[in-house]
Structure 1
Amino acid sequence: MKFGRRHLDLVQGYVPGEQPQEEGFIKLNTNENPYPPSPRVVKVLTRISPDRMRKYPDPVFRRLRQKIALAYGVRPAQVFVGNGSDEVLSLLVRTFVDPDEKVLFTYPTYVLYETLARLNAVEHEAIELDAQFDLSEEVFRSSGKLFFIANPNSPTGKPVKSDVIRRLCDSFAGLVVADEAYADFSDTSSIPILSECPNLVILRTFSKAFSLASIRVGFALAAEDVIADLMKTKDSYNVNLLSQLAAEAAIEDIEYMRENARKIVQTRERMSASLRGLGFTVYPSGANFVLTKYNDNASPLYEELKRRKILVRYFPIRRLENCLRISVGTDAEVDALLTELGDIVRSGQ
């Protein structure tokens, strides 16, 4: 006997990148930061009082909201914090979309958007990106309650300029969600136009540039009434004490994060140039990864790299079946990748 809701038969759960169970892999498949978090994070976590551990954390994360607001030039009442930005994405659908309303997103993009729409049994529509993976004019003619725009996009890496986001906010009657998980590796952000766009929600995360993927902290910046509604629908204590303290320490040392991001961008550009030198097509990226293709079938290349203990991401879906997404690792990890790829290309595998 099945007890799940009927619509779950139509849902394929989100499948994250492979986590190797053996030692010795170079892991370039889940866009984790190759550098450690700020030393301040380690310091604060090792000095936490046991007495604080037995008590509930601040349910509305006041200190963290204040620090985020100061760092990004908004008011604390414009900040919402979640258990990773994925929780914030889920809450946005739960909070603002009724069953007869529509969620929109582009294609290809972060597959969780569609998964969340299906899990919540709401109408949804994917609008194709153009041949260069840019927004098509159809985006600006669309209607619905919520429009997810990954900026820079994943898995393509393409950023969207803030004037294009402003145009979408002007043309779309619902909420526009600019998911800026990778914005720290780009020169594009929608934060400067937030005050001009009351229907704009900007998502950021501590998982990527701040090197805190295991801590699970993401946040939204939006108009105060939007944040107030999210506060109504969140779980009681959705961000634990350790996560709040780690995120506070990280954002207090934001220049440390920015320096690591600059190193990753430099390595990304070097890796992209080297891949092109090996005969790969490399799409422009504003993220900590690149989307690339070599021939008409990326699967054998993915499998051969895995055999050589290098993990990259392969998406066996339409428009991406010939592509690999490669996270930017340390210079040594990228050098190892390029060496193995050069050997594979020369051997004709």
Structure 2
Amino acid sequence: MNWEANVRKVVPYTPGEQPKIKNIIKLNTNENPYPPAPAVAERIKETDVSDYRKYPDPTCSVLVDAIADYYNVDKKNVFVGVGSDDVLAMAFLAFFNSEKPVLFPDITYSFYDVWAQLYRIPYRQVPLKDDFTIDVDDYTGYGAGGSKASDEQKKEGCGGIVIANPNAPTGVFLGLSAIEKIVADNRDVVVIVDEAYVDFGAESALPLINKYDNLLVVQTFSKSRSMAGMRIGYAFGSEKLIKYLSDVKFSFNSYTMNMPSLELGALAIADKEYFEETRNKIIATRERTKVKLKELGFEFADSKTNFIFVKHPQRSGKEIFDALRQRNIIVRRWDIERISEYLRISIGTDEEMDQLIKALKEELKKC
């Protein structure tokens, strides 16, 4: 008997490397170089481990309330999950349930096509322009004229849209007016805006949820809140949208978030002063690093994230990647079409970025 014939097979997402060796400069997974808010450490010291014999609150109320208070929205407009990956996976499962393809860029977060394949969702990857920007016309006009969509694509239709904004791994940001145009032109499907990096200088689409009930805005504690290890993601949407998403979540797993994540996440988001301090440090370091990289001849689009997506006209991406690794500096590279010559460099501390620049200077002198 061939039981494998009924296995749901998929090529999984490949996460960034988490090396076990010490004394490295780790600039490959966009983690925050600074610790979480001080209240998080204090709460951990006071933790009563006997509480862990109980199930966590399935409604996640302490975290939902804290997020709602911080962003000044109703708690009925907030959804939380085990990192933004969990939130996005539940959203794909809940909202993309037609025979029409879901649209997202060809160069973007590489989990999108994995979820689409896993859930058997038809999808189409829309090529970015040569400068890695999105052409809004590629995502509008599926039921009308004036769009770049071909007649065949218009007939095929659109089953939903996912846009990472700022995009990953490019770091390029799409303005709010362009996002609104896409949402407004696709009222019969759900549009997901994945804002994992929005806190580093971009503009959030959150204000649009009161105007468009088909918009889901997804964010995370992993980057700007320094809590990638706690796995906390969240989303904003209309009350109806959040209810549908919650129904799918509770049909999948009633207890998706653990007690520490709920409690510590609520404490982290409450400390606005610390958040602004560390966020501004990262932005300042990013801008300083841009200047240094340009001086070394690197080319890159402007970034509104905690990373820079770069290439050098005289050295291959793999060559630089390997040379840095020999120096215990790890960045990220994809050996795929259009971006194989690029490296994504996460923003670390000033000291880490100075060591990176020093290493790059020395390697480029070998040309």
Identify the TM-score tier after normalising by the shorter chain.
over 0.9
For residues 1-349 of structure 1, the aligned pairs below 5 Å read 3=4, 5=6, 8=9, 11-98=10-97, 100-136=99-135, 137-142=137-142, 143-172=157-186, 173-234=188-249, 235-295=253-313, 297-348=316-367
Q: Structure 1 stretch 142-151 or stretch 19-28: which is displaced more?
A: 142-151
Q: Structure 1 stretch 73-82 or stretch 89-98: which is displaced more?
A: 89-98
Q: Offset at 1:27?
A: 0.2
Q: Offset at 1:56?
A: 0.8
Q: Structure 1 stretch 76-85 or stretch 139-148: which is displaced more?
A: 139-148
Contact 1:45–1:245 (CA under 8 A) maintained in structure 2: no
Q: Partners of 1:141 and 1:34 in 2: how far apart? A: 43
User: Which whole-Å deviations, capped at 9, do the CAs of 1:29-58 have from their partners, x for residues lacking one?
Assistant: 000000000010111122122332111111
Contact 2:98–2:159 (CA under 8 A) maintained in structure 1: no
Q: Which runs of 5+ in 2 are unaligned?
A: 143-156
Q: Structure 1 stretch 248-257 or stretch 199-208: which is displaced more?
A: 248-257
User: Which whole-Å deviations, capped at 9, do the CAs of 1:110-133 have from their partners, x for residues lacking one?
Assistant: 000111000111101111111121
Contact 2:99–2:159 (CA under 8 A) maintained in structure 1: no
Q: Partners of 2:296 and 2:217 in 1: how far apart? A: 37
SS class of match (2:235): strand
SS class of match (1:80): strand
Task: Look up the equivalent residue of 2:71 and give its one-letter code.
Answer: Y
Q: Structure 1 stretch 72-81 or stretch 293-302: which is displaced more?
A: 293-302
Q: Partners of 1:326 and 1:178 in 2: how far apart? A: 23
Q: How many residues align structurally?
A: 346
TM-score by length of 2: 0.91
SS class of match (1:290): strand
Q: Offset at 1:102?
A: 2.4
Q: Partners of 1:240 and 1:266 in 2: how far apart? A: 34
Identity value in percent: 37
Q: Partners of 1:326 and 1:187 in 2: how far apart? A: 18
Q: Partners of 1:52 and 1:269 in 2: how far apart? A: 44
Cα-Cα RMSD: 1.4
SS class of match (1:157): coil
SS class of match (1:141): coil
Q: Offset at 1:158?
A: 0.7
Q: Which runs of 5+ in 1 are unaligned?
A: none
User: Which whole-Å deviations, capped at 9, do the CAs of 1:156-189 have from their partners, x for residues lacking one?
Assistant: 0011111111100011131111100000002311
